[in-house]
Amino acid sequence: MNILQIISGGISAYKAVDITSNLVKKNHNVKIILTKNATKFITELTFQTISKNKVYTDTFEEINETEIQHIDLVKWADKIIIAPATANIIAKIANGIADDLSSSLMLAVKDFSKVYIAPAMNTAMYENPITQSNIFKLKQLGFNFIEPDSGLLACGDVGKGKLPSSEDILSAVLNNNLLAGKKVLVTAGSTKEYIDPVRYISNPSSGKMGIAIAEEFAKNGADVSLITSADYISEMKNITVIPIISAHDMFVAVKKEFEDADIIIKAAAVSDYKPIITYDKKVKKQVGNIEIELERTEDILYYLGQRKKENQFLIGFAAETNDIINYAKEKIKKKNLDYIIANDVSKKEIGFGSDNNEVYIIDKYNNINKIDKTSKRNIAKQIVNMFL
C-alpha cells in the first residue's frame, strides 16, 4: 500500500519515526512530508533512511518536472496519515488554508476517508472550542480522527493530548474496515423511572463505557446503533443514536434493533424497578412518610438471551459491589450470554462516571481475563479486538 505520512511541528514528531519504521516493516511504500516546523524537531535524513524515499518539505521544490508535487502525491497515496497533527495544521485543513506543501496537498484530496489525523497538543489547546469545532467539521466531512491519549504532557500538564501509540495509529489506519458489514447494537447510560414530573429513580451511570465501545466498533467499520439516555451526539456517520429515557423505552428500542444485529452489547445500567403509579403533578411535601410501590421493569438482557440466534454474540455487563466473579458467572448462565464484563462500582476511581475502569471479561466457558485499571477507551478497544 502507498502511504503518505505528514509530520507537523510538535514535540512528539520524533514518535513518527516508529510509525514509519513499522509501516516499512509491513512492506508498505511510505513517503514523508515534513512541515517547516517539524524540521526543527527532527531531520529529513532520519525519515529518508528509514523509508528509502525522498522526504518532501517544500511546495516549490519539484523533484520530478513532469509532476505537480502536491497533486501527484495525493493521487499516489492510498492512505494519508497526519501524526502528530498540531492545532495549527488541523485549523488549516478545516478552513482551507494552503500556505505550505502539506496544507496545499490536503485541498487536492477528494476522498477524505483516506486521511487519518492523530492530534497531539496541550490539553487546553485540544479542548479549546475552536479546535473542537475544527475537528467536528472535519469529522463531518469524513476525515478519520484517532483520539489522543491522556497522561503527562511535555509541558508538565496532565490531561488529554498525547499522541496515540504507534500501535493504535497503525491499527486505525490498517485495520479500520475489518468489521465492515457488521451490525452492532450497544446500550449505554442509565435509565430514569419517573415518580412525578420532577423526581425519578435512577443511578449515576454516565454512559462513557458504552459510548467508547460504540465508537471503537464504528472506527473498525461496523454500523452501530447506540441506544442511550446520555446527552451524546455522534460525530461518526456509522453510529446511529437512538435516545431513550426509561427502561421500557430501551426495551422497545432494543426489540426493534435486535433482529438485524450481529453483536449486542448491553452496557447500560438499567433500572430494575419502576413506580407502579406515576403522578402527573409534583407530589407535595406532607406530614409523615409516604410509600412508593415499585414493580419490576422488563429484563431486557434475559429477553435477548432467550431469543439469541446462533450467529449473534450477546455481551452483558455486571456492575457489582461485592462477590463480583460469582455474581457475573451466575448472570452469564441465567441470561444465556456469550461474555459478561464485570466491574466493582463501589470503587470511586473506577465506578460510575469515571473515565477509568477495571474489569473482568468472562466467557460462557468461565475463562476469565482481568483488565487492570485503565481508561474506558482502552477497555473498549480490547473488547472490540475480540471480534477482529
Q: Give the Å distances, CA to CA, from 136 to 96, 124, 235.
A: 15, 17, 7
Contacts of residue 26, Cβ cutoff 8 Å, sequence gap at least 6: 170, 174
Query: Among 42, 97, 98, 155, which one carries the catalytic annotation?
Result: 155
Alpha-carbon separation of residue 262 from 32, 180, 310, 332, 388 (angstroms) = 39, 12, 10, 19, 13
Distance CA 304, CA 309 (A): 9
Rounded Cα gap, residues 54 and 70, in angstroms: 14
The answer to whether the Cα torsion of 338, 191, 280, 288 is positive or negative is positive
CB atoms within 10 A of CB 96: 9
Which is nearest to 339 in space by CA: 384, 298, 377? 384
335 counts as catalytic: no
Instruction: Please give the Cα distance from 138 to 46 (Å, whole number).
Output: 31
For residue 21, what is its C-alpha cell?
Answer: 519504521
Q: 464504528: which residue's cell?
A: 218
Collapsing DSSP states into helix, strand and coil, what is residue 352? coil
Closest of 190, 257, 265, 177 to residue 221, by C-alpha: 177
Packing angle of the helix pair 129-141, 87-94 (nearest 10 deg): 50
Helix (H) or strand (E) holding 263: strand 263-266
From the number of C-beta atoms within 10 Å of its C-beta (0-12, 13-18, 19+), residue 302 rates as: middle
* Contact of 240 with 226, CB cutoff 8 Å: yes
- The residues that are catalytic are 155
